[in-house]
Amino acid sequence: MTRTYLRDQPRKRPWIAAATLVAIGLALYFGSPLLFTWMGGYLVRTDTPARADAVVVLAGDFSGARILAGADLVKQGLAPKAVISGPDEVYGMYECEPAIAFAVGHGYPQTYFVRAPNRARSTREEVASLLPYLQQMGVHRVDLVTSNFHTRRAGKIFRTMAPGLETHVVGASDIYFQPDSWWHTREGRKTFFYEAIKTVTSWFGI
């Protein structure tokens, strides 16, 4: 009986499933650049930088684009100081320390920056840790700087948690993510995927 049962089973053909997935992937890749561009663009929601009481630079960018963008806003005279967030996740250091050193190495004065060390593990926790610094500084208007792909979610969280602040979200360029071509590279796809998941879960307060 056992032999008959085994003999009567249809052969598994895993290559069919693999080929199907590849075909779907190729169809999406070559047939949906407009859709992918829209998907990437949805994550990006920025404002025109405006005169503010302070620039706030969120952590999480290890290329230096965020802090250089924030420092440049101070240099332009749009704000007197840039508050640099710094979770303790970088080899035992607060991220604001190497970030500020990086900006100083690029010619920006140390006096531009206010350290904001914290132990945040999410954007929501990070904003909560930054608000006391802004309150102590008497800030009413901020230019919030983060990576382009993070602007929609970060802006929504910041405005929700600090409704009394006038907030302008400024996007810094990202070396891996461009809204109109993110799907062409592995790092771009990873960046989109992680941020898209975080964006969707944030709708449910997760």
- The rounded distance, in Å, linking the Cα atoms of 75 and 70 is 9
Quick: pLDDT tens for 158-197.
999 999 999 999 999 999 999 999 999 999 999 999 999 9
Q: What is the mean pLDDT of residues 74-79?
A: 98
Would residue 149 count as lying in a domain? yes
CATH number assigned to the domain comprising residue 84: 3.40.50.620
Instruction: Answer yes or no: is 113 within a domain.
Output: yes
Task: Assess if residue 143 is contained within a domain.
Answer: yes
Q: pLDDT tens across 123-150, in order?
A: 999 999 999 999 999 999 999 999 999 9
* Residue 49 near residue 78 (C-beta atoms within 8 A): yes
Burial environment of residue 168 by CB neighbours within 10 A (0 to 12, 13 to 18, 19 or more): buried
Q: Is 73 exposed, middle or buried (0-12, 13-18, 19+ CB in 10 A)?
A: buried
In a domain, 78, yes or no: yes
Instruction: Let me know if residue 71 belongs to a domain.
Output: yes
Assigned domain for 190 exists: no
Amino acid 48 reads: T
Note the Cα 73 to chain centre separation in Å. 19
Cα 91 to Cα 87, 94, 98, 116: the distances in Å are: 11, 8, 11, 17
Asked if the model's pLDDT at residue 3 lies above 80, the reply is no
Q: Are 33 and 184 in contact (CB under 8 A)?
A: no
Q: Which residues constitute the domain of residue 168?
A: 54-172
Q: How many domains does the chain have?
A: 1
